[in-house]
């Protein structure tokens, strides 16, 4: 079973989080101080670290993880007014989430990162023989399909030279955000504002739109091109698109706390180029594979 560590020196807050993330899919424990967190991750392997932002950024947990456990996936738990969100990522965190996020959003984020960073034996490496490839996938509007598609694309990325598990997980997270946007906000036209309410309204709207037309029959096309130096992903939905000029500034702290701002920042931070077509229903992500070992 996967093990998760919560690093937080506020006992009441850590205990409440422990209750909110309980799941049959993993076990979780608490490290109540910086020293306890360091000792815990040095003593046993963890699938994921959930760290309070102050312990991560100011107290120095990020430096210890970077020096001794660089492959450990980290989610930083932030306050809504946190102005250091970009720095959390620069220090090595995989993503961040408001500590008052709803239970479903927490569980969804945790499971997504565990899936993206899970290592599984793959076919014998044929990297020296590979030159280029194109893969085209068509998926419906089930968000559960995202993990399957991203997992497959990560395997191809590994074959084309993205052997660093951290880089591969980050690319997978960017792809997950892009596919989620295409399915939920593009095809199903569910607004991201619903997610900020902290209730189940967002998830209820997804299920409702999946069962009615014109949303139910829409699909997402994923066209991927791989070479020895670059991977390009073109993700196109059948929704109405959006005004690109209205995209929130992903570096504005007021937007980073929102799920939409977080997703945009991750897409841009973990790939080398992100562009949209004129209508706004197609996004292209480019990832350099050079020197990503």
- Domain residue ranges in the chain: 2-117, 127-288
* φ, ψ for residue 36, nearest 5 deg: -65, -40
Higher pLDDT, 247 or 41: 41
Please determine, for residue 121, whether its predicted confidence score (pLDDT) is greater than 70.
no
Planar angle of CA 104, 109, 114, nearest 5 degrees: 125
**Mean pLDDT computed over every residue of the chain:** 88
Mean pLDDT of 51-73: 91
Q: Which of 32-36, 209-213, 251-255, 285-289 has the lowest mean pLDDT?
A: 251-255
Quick one: which of 50, 52, 45 has its CA closest to 71? 45
Mean pLDDT of 59-70: 92
Please determine, for residue 157, whether its predicted confidence score (pLDDT) is greater than 70.
yes
With bands split at pLDDT 50, 70 and 90, how would you rate the model's confidence at 244? confident
Q: Which two tokens stand for residue 223?
A: 């066209």
**In terms of CATH, what superfamily is 2-117?**
Response regulator (3.40.50.2300)
pLDDT digits (tens, 9 = 90+) for 161-218: 887 888 999 999 999 999 999 999 999 999 988 887 767 899 999 999 999 999 999 9
Task: Quote the pTM value.
Answer: 0.77
What's the CATH number of domain 127-288, 2.40.30.10, 3.30.565.10, 3.40.30.110, 3.10.20.740? 3.30.565.10
> 2-117 and 127-288: same fold?
no
Q: CA 76 to CA 58: how far, in whole Å?
A: 12
With bands split at pLDDT 50, 70 and 90, how would you rate the model's confidence at 123? very low
* φ, ψ for residue 249, nearest 5 deg: -70, 115
Q: CA 88 to CA 39: how far, in whole Å?
A: 21
pLDDT at 274: 96
């Amino acid at each position: 079973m996967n093990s998760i560590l919560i690093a937080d020196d506020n006992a009441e807050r850590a205990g409440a989080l422990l209750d909110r993330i309980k799941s049959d899919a993993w076990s979780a424990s608490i490290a109540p101080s910086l020293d306890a967190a360091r000792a815990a991750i040095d003593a046993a392997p963890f699938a994921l670290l959930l760290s309070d932002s102050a312990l991560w950024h100011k107290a120095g947990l990020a430096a210890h993880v970077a020096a001794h456990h660089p492959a450990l996936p980290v989610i930083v738990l932030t306050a809504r007014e946190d102005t250091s969100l970009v720095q959390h990522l620069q220090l090595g965190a995989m993503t961040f989430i408001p500590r008052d996020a709803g239970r479903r959003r927490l569980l969804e984020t945790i499971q997504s990162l565990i899936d993206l960073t899970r290592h599984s034996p793959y076919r014998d490496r044929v990297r020296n023989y590979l030159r280029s490839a194109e893969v085209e996938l068509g998926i419906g509007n089930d968000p559960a399909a995202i993990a399957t598609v991203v997992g497959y694309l990560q395997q191809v990325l590994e074959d084309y030279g993205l052997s660093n598990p951290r880089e591969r997980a980050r690319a997978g997270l960017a792809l997950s955000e892009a596919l989620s946007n295409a399915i939920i906000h593009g095809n199903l036209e569910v607004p991201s504002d619903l997610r900020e309410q902290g209730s189940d309204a967002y998830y209820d709207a997804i299920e409702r739109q999946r069962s009615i037309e014109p949303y139910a029959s829409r699909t997402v096309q994923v066209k991927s091109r791989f070479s020895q130096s670059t991977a390009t992903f073109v993700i196109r939905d059948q929704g109405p698109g959006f005004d690109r000029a209205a995209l929130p500034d992903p570096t504005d702290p007021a937007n980073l706390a929102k799920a939409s701002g977080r997703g945009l920042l991750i897409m841009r931070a973990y790939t080398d180029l992100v562009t949209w077509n004129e209508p706004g229903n197609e996004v292209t992500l480019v990832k350099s594979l050079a020197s990503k070992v």
